[in-house]
Amino acid sequence: MQLNTAFSSKSLRALAAGTGLLALLAVTACGPENSATAAQSDRPEVRQALETVVQAGFPGAQAVITTAAGEWIVNAGVGDTASGAPIPDNAHVRIGSNTKSFVATVVLQLVAEGKVELDAPVERYLPGLVRGNGNDGSRVTVRQLLQHTSGLPDYLASGDPSRPADPNSQQIKADPEAIRGRHYSPAEMIRIAMTMPPQFEPGTRSIYTNTNYILLGMLIDRVTGRPAAAEITTRIIEPLGLRDTYFPAPGDNGLRAPYPRGYQEIDGTRIDFTDFDPSWADAAGAMIATGSDLNRFFLALLDGKLLPAAQLEQMRQTVPFDRMPSAGYGLGLVVQTTSCGKQTVAHGGSIPGFDTRTGVTADGVAVTMTVNELPTNKERAEVVERAFDSVVCAS
């Protein structure tokens, strides 16, 4: 579900921003001015859930909850450790692997238009690209890319402690010294992936792999003649009026205002990692949005406003998800059940600086929760996941 990263470089401590953590709590109701929204904004369970994240040592957290009655925002902690300012309302944040849902939607629109076949081999659309060290694009289908059952190796070192990266691998390791200002092309990332053998036989397992979505972005480009970012803009962002959602252009290394600072812990020191070149994430996780826009996107998608019923149904059919044993992975969607029995559908994403959890419930409540520091181990990731579960259950 995420672009997970792990850093270790003692020389980076000189880059550290202020590390004081201020337990500032702010609650803001927005959207339609009515009693229902006002009452919801005062729900203590949401506030308490975000406070547990701050108490665990994260700088700040924000929940954006969208319902038929309106929308409200709850903040805990800070969006800037130097000034003590909270995460602003309508904050632009890096949404990481939520990008995959946008990419999958465009691919499925192309399927509906008869321009792509789900069970056709990748070789048909990207001839000669998936080849080498046992990788074979003629044996991997578009569906398998979408659902992470391709078996292809990941160009990106995941940082997952349960699957440590090979130190001799050419995988991109998200070390700030190496990637912060470097630009990667999709073709370069696929060349890196092809230096490694497949992880498993196509279609026999499901292992979350960012290479799959870099290839899907390239497929969109090849089929439409336009970059995936342009197709996402004209097919999704503009029709839905998502004014605060965008795919950063080459060289656009910052965030549009308003935004919180994004932090990363490296060797025990908190680094300000707000600005960097996100090209290494590309179609697997480079997009930027607000919580409100993410909620609107997932609500529209699941309400059938972006896809015909047949393709939406395909999108929701899941296989076991290796990174979340209690969840299933569809074609760019994650389906999971919370501790209170509510099922959510959306995705989620992690990238240096931000961890964003998303979900839409069966009764049409959309939740986006953002933490402005990427968890660096399983225990801290579980703190964020439990808080998101609590927010959904209280919404």
User: Which is the catalytic residue, given 97, 206, 292, 390?
Assistant: 97
User: Which residues, listed in sequence order, are joined to residue 29 by a DSSP beta bridge?
Assistant: 72
The alpha carbon of residue 106 and the mean position of all alpha carbons in its chain are separated, in whole angstroms, by: 16
Catalogue all structural domains in the chain, each as residue range(s) with its CATH number.
10-97+230-394 (3.40.710.10), 100-228 (3.40.710.10)
**How much is the pLDDT for 299?**
98
**Cβ atoms of 67 and 263 closer than 8 Å:** no
**How much is the pLDDT for 169?**
61
Active site residue 97: yes
**Cβ atoms of 371 and 53 closer than 8 Å:** yes
Which residues of the chain fall below pLDDT 70? 1-42, 158-170, 173-178
Closest CA to 375 of 291, 261, 263, 297: 263
User: Which residues, listed in sequence order, are joined to residue 370 by a DSSP beta bridge?
Assistant: 62, 356
**How much is the pLDDT for 177?**
59
Rounded to an integer, what distance in angstroms lies between the CA atom of residue 17 and that of residue 80? 10
**Strand ranges in 105-261 using DSSP code E only, listed in sequence order:** 131-132, 135-136
pLDDT tens per residue across span 210-241: 999 999 999 999 999 999 999 999 999 999 99
Rounded to an integer, what distance in angstroms lies between the CA atom of residue 291 and that of residue 369? 7
**How much is the pLDDT for 174?**
55
**How much is the pLDDT for 166?**
54
Distances (CA, A) of 194 to 189, 215, 382: 9, 12, 32
Record the pTM: 0.89
Rounded to an integer, what distance in angstroms lies between the CA atom of residue 135 and that of residue 269? 40
